[in-house]
A = this chain, B = another copy of it.
């Protein structure tokens, strides 16, 4: 595949990624033994969006009190649910994200427990947190983070006796890197066709719900807007009908992300509407992919990983077709504000 080294992917995400299981269990078990009042998942842009699926999964499967908060807002808002007994979870690719560092310092100064997943070793964040998993490579770091976050979140649930299927689940997490790779290969021609068709499209709506809302929000803002400078409105599938739908006309690009959780009917409804109105509806549905060896009951959770990997294929083709490097920035880390 174009700009995709399968061996490298499997080495980073499968061989190295899965090997963190025992380290993660040790960290989570230690936190649970000590006791905690609630979990704060904190980030900015792509790294808060990455937490939304897990916040959703916890809310709909667990009694654990969970809060996903935007880092820069969290440090000023004086959240009354946050205390020294909170567990604060972060991810960072670079290990240097300014707002994340400030949030970690805020949490530590109040005695809370901090735990981060970081790609780059020996960076401010790896040194700052109480517990750190350092994956060592920026390449495929989001794919690895998603997998590690499944381990983290479901271990917390398991330790609270809310997830008796934990052993089976982790066996299936181990199958996920191959399932992602198979899905990506099957989707690749569609990703390329999308990028060719949409190379001059200057506005997209991205619609999703449930545990795919984070990806919907993130892809619109952190890829289409930030990396391709294309206007993109992310809109929750339920909220779509309370405003944004009125903009849809025959040539409006609507990208609908369908997953397999309880909120799927909300995306079905958007699909029925959009099919009637626009000729430029793109449906990206995890149901179209085999996920070899994954149980029916866990597919919905793994849809988050699968969906993100599929979207990433669109990015590389957009970069090529639009001759616009994904790394090009006008302002971020280039200008003071």
Contacts and interface: CB of A to CB of B under 8 A. Distances in A.
A243 to B, nearest CB: 4
B73 A236 contact: yes
Contacts of A245: 330-332
Contacts of A45: 239, 241-243
Contact of A76 (B222, B248, B266): B266
A324 B210 CA distance: 34
A222 B242 contact: yes
Given A77-B263, A331-B246, A239 B70 contact: yes
A56 B67 CA distance: 12
Contacts of A99: 238
B242 A226 contact: yes
A42 to B, nearest CB: 11
Query: How many copies of the shown chain assemble into the complex?
Result: 2
B72 A60 contact: no
Contact of A243 (B226, B235, B239, B248): B226
A182 interface: no
A59 B79 contact: yes
Interface string A65-101: 1000011110011111100000000000000000100
Contacts of A72: 238, 266
Interface string A191-219: 00000000000010000011000000000
B337 A276 contact: yes
Interface string A226-240: 100101110110110
B65 A80 contact: no
A262 B78 CA distance: 8
A121 interface: no
Contact of A247 (B62, B231, B335): B231
Interface string A323-337: 000000111100101
Interface of A: 44-46, 48, 56, 59-63, 65, 70-73, 76-81, 99, 203, 209-210, 221-222, 225-226, 229, 231-233, 235-236, 238-239, 241-248, 261-263, 265-266, 269, 272-273, 276-277, 329-332, 335, 337
